[in-house]
Amino acid sequence: MVGDDQQGRDLLDLLHRAGVHTEAVVRDPSRPTTTKTRIVAEGSFVHGQHLARIDHLDRRPLDHPVETLLVERLHHVAGRVNAIAVSNYRNGVITDGVIAACHAARAQHGVLLCVDSQGGLQRFRGFDVVKCNRAEAESELGAHLPDAPAERLDAVRALRRQCDAHWLVVTLGDEGMVWATPDAAGHVPPARRATVYDVTGAGDTVLALLTLARLAGLAPADACHLANLAAGLVVQVLGNYAPTRDELESLWQAHPTPPV
């Protein structure tokens, strides 16, 4: 979803040059392309100091004709993909109709459904992989995640049942991640200590790697570990960054999944 503006055209051009198929992208002339401008102080810093961010966006739910077109595009590509990854920025695009279309795509084509919910987990009931952070998990549970490891895992198991997810992954910042499936639950500590320069894209990186790992048949602990490794790379680079396969393979070999 982009606006009919220069920012949208620039984004599509970048995607084309990166080899990303964009035939399903919808242009909505009634809203701007979401654009986030950061104010960074350089000075004597090795890396610039982020001071503020100016967001240009529209959080209105999609108009019905635009939503209908997006759903049609989703159905058109669903038979040619293995997974649908939903990164919900709560900007009005992920409507109930779009979520229903995701479920319909899975029923018809068997695609994997994955989501970074950013709150509102119940809207994504039945997704295969659901990712949220600590605050979102606690909001859904109505209580803090316990500090005791066994009690924390019990809480994550309960939340997974509430979400009816096959995998639930809760990110815990510098404490790593906890996960739960119908059969097991566990904690994956941080893969390695990384100096954080910029968290832009870290959450989307985790969602992308969890989706890839689930498709590849990795166990949940291995999937979370791989996602941790990828996020650890991303936060060390200013701006958006996509880790390469060679980088991930090198880190995977150097930092094997710790025992659960």
List, in order, residues 6 or more apart from 101 with CB less than 8 Å away.
71, 74, 75
Query: If you count them, how many residues does the chain have?
Result: 260
Between CA 29 and CA 37 the distance in angstroms is 21
DSSP H or E segment with residue 203: helix 202-216
Cα separation of the two ends of the chain: 40
Q: If DSSP codes are grouped into helix, strand and coil, which group holds residue 250?
A: helix
Between CA 149 and CA 65 the distance in angstroms is 48
Burial class (CB in 10 A: 0-12, 13-18, 19+), 229: buried
**Strand spans (E) along 104-234:** 112-116, 129-133, 167-171, 177-180, 185-188
- Residue 6, φ and ψ in degrees, nearest 5: -65, -40
Sort residue 119 into left (φ over 0), alpha (ψ -120 to 50) or beta. Answer: left
Q: What amino acid positions are annotated as catalytic residues?
A: 204
Whether 168 and 179 have beta carbons less than 8 Å apart is answered as yes
Pairing of strands 49-56, 112-116: unpaired
From 215, 226, 236, 233, select the one nearest 257 (Cα to Cα): 226
Q: What are 131's two structure tokens?
A: 């990712």
